[in-house]
């Protein structure tokens, strides 16, 4: 009986559900996802500000792909809010908006990711 309990805990699951280690690992993965999105968004800003629209578009696609992997794990309300920001940023990049406008949108997205999205992933 004791050996079975050790094996079960070793797998990350106990009789009541996820063990503390498994929950901590899931949380750190969520935080890592947000960090990847933020990194891609900052790269969009840097590329766009330096006049490299093609690189900005590539980094934007990477940020959106990373976001698409996170959005199903959060509330519909928070996901919708961030999706609207992604749509706005995409339109700004396509239309050649001023770099200051792009930077402002990205700053708002990063703030939202750190404040609300990370909290939901915990």
Domain ranges in the chain?
Answer: 15-121
Euclidean distance between CA atoms 44 and 103, whole angstroms: 9
How far is Cα 61 from Cα 80, in angstroms, rounded to an integer? 18
The pLDDT value recorded for residue 31 is 52
Kindly report the pTM of this predicted structure: 0.73
Give the separation between CA 56 and CA 52, rounded to whole angstroms. Answer: 6
Query: Mean pLDDT for each consecutive 10-residue tract of the chain (122 residues)?
Result: 44 44 42 89 98 98 96 93 97 98 97 89 82
CATH class of the domain whose range is 15-121? mainly alpha
């Amino acid at each position: 009986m004791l050996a079975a309990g050790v094996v079960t805990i070793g797998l990350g699951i106990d009789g009541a559900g996820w063990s503390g280690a498994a929950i901590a690992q899931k949380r750190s993965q969520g935080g890592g996802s947000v960090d990847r999105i933020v990194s891609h968004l900052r790269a969009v800003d840097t590329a766009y500000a330096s006049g490299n629209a093609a690189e900005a578009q590539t980094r934007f696609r990477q940020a959106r792909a990373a976001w698409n992997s996170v959005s199903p794990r959060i509330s519909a309300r928070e996901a919708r809010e961030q999706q609207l920001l992604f749509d706005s940023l995409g339109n700004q990049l396509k239309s050649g908006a001023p770099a200051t406008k792009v930077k402002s949108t990205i700053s708002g997205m990063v703030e939202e990711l750190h404040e609300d999205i990370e909290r939901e992933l915990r």
